[in-house]
């Protein structure tokens, strides 16, 4: 992260001592130059798998950040895509990354190539995902890398809000990685991060909720089912397999019937 384009140590420290909303407002201009941005290979793997579930007319990116998931939805949906987030700074970066059709600078158009066909309309909404302002209007909802910002007690309510934003037959999808082996470097890194965050939140206000080990698959499936979804798992084979042959990541597909 500590590159010329990414945030400095001081900037990260200021963010870590802020609220979630203000912290992301501060980080937004440099967010895409940090490891927090979902890697393209994950976005592409999800796109390829979800395309088989379509077609889709309308899509919703829950906790859209700078718009990585909106980019996925624009490849999958025909009519309209909406990104929702509660950080004004992140939404500003997302709007800049996806300007309305006709506003793209001429320099961005490849020389000698025909203009790219128009995609679905894109809208941006500032709102808390725990209280989404949508009627059942979407065929597809997705989210990348945001669930650590919700405490386990909030997860059912979040899923219920997404459920209420989908049309019957609509699908809520997101990738979930396999837990790292106990005792591995990744295991201790995540354990240490969560422990440090708990100490920080016990000693400092406002809280900054971000935990890596609270989004366990069994609990997630239970809360999705309680919210009314019918759930299945699909392996994201493009992201590889673990030594025991199991996939490194799965796609959760939750359908509102």
Digits of tens for pLDDT over the chain (257 positions)? 556 677 777 777 777 777 888 888 888 888 888 888 899 999 999 999 999 999 999 999 999 999 999 999 999 999 999 999 999 999 999 999 998 764 544 444 444 444 445 789 999 999 999 999 999 999 999 999 899 999 999 999 999 999 999 999 999 999 999 998 898 998 999 999 889 989 988 998 888 888 888 899 999 999 999 999 999 999 999 999 999 999 999 999 999 99
What are the extents of the domains in the chain? 1-36, 37-98+116-178+215-254
Q: How much is the pLDDT for 248?
A: 95
The Cα–Cα gap between 153 and 219 comes to: 11
Nearest to 177 by CA among 235, 245, 243: 235
Beta bridge partners of 121: 80
**Environment class of residue 69 by beta-carbon count within 10 Å: exposed (0-12), middle (13-18) or buried (19+)?**
buried
pLDDT confidence of residue 101: 65
What pLDDT, on a 0 to 100 scale, did the predictor assign at position 107?
Answer: 42
Fold of the 37-98+116-178+215-254 domain:
Rossmann fold (3.40.50)
What is the model's pLDDT at position 115?
41
Q: What is the pLDDT of residue 192?
A: 93
What does the pLDDT read at residue 3? Answer: 65
Q: Which residue has the tokens 């709102």?
A: 127
Between the alpha carbon of residue 15 and those of residues 11, 116, 194, 208, the distances in Å are 6, 38, 16, 9
Q: What is the pTM of this model?
A: 0.88
Which pLDDT does position 110 carry in this prediction?
44
Q: Cα(11)–Cα(28) distance, rounded to whole angstroms?
A: 11
DSSP string, 120-135: -EEEEEE--GGG----
- Provide the token pair at 44: 């592409």
Written as six digits, the tokens of 122 are: 């894109």
Contact 196, 165 (CB under 8 A): no
Q: Which residue has the tokens 């919703």?
A: 60
């Amino acid at each position: 992260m500590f590159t010329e384009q990414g945030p400095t140590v001081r900037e990260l420290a200021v963010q870590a001592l802020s609220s979630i909303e203000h912290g992301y407002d501060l980080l937004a201009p440099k967010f895409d130059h940090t490891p927090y941005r979902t890697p393209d290979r994950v976005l592409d793997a999800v796109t390829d798998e979800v395309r088989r579930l379509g077609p889709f007319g309308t899509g919703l990116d829950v906790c859209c950040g700078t718009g990585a998931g909106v980019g996925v939805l624009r490849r999958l949906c025909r009519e309209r895509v909406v990104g929702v987030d509660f950080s004004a700074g992140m939404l500003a970066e997302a709007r800049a990354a996806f300007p309305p059709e006709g506003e793209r600078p001429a320099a961005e158009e490849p020389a000698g190539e025909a203009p790219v066909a128009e995609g679905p309309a894109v809208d941006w909404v500032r709102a808390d995902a725990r209280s989404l302002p949508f009627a059942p209007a979407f065929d597809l909802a997705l989210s990348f890398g945001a669930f650590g910002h919700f405490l386990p007690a909030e997860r059912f309510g979040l899923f219920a809000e997404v459920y209420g934003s989908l049309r019957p037959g609509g699908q809520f999808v997101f990738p979930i990685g396999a837990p790292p082996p106990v005792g591995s470097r990744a295991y201790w890194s995540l354990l240490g991060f969560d422990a440090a965050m708990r100490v920080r939140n016990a000693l400092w206000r406002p809280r900054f909720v971000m935990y890596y080990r609270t989004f366990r698959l069994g609990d997630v499936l239970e809360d999705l089912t309680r919210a009314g979804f019918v759930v299945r798992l699909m392996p994201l084979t493009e992201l590889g397999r673990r030594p025991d042959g199991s996939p490194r990541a799965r796609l959760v597909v939750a359908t509102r019937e």
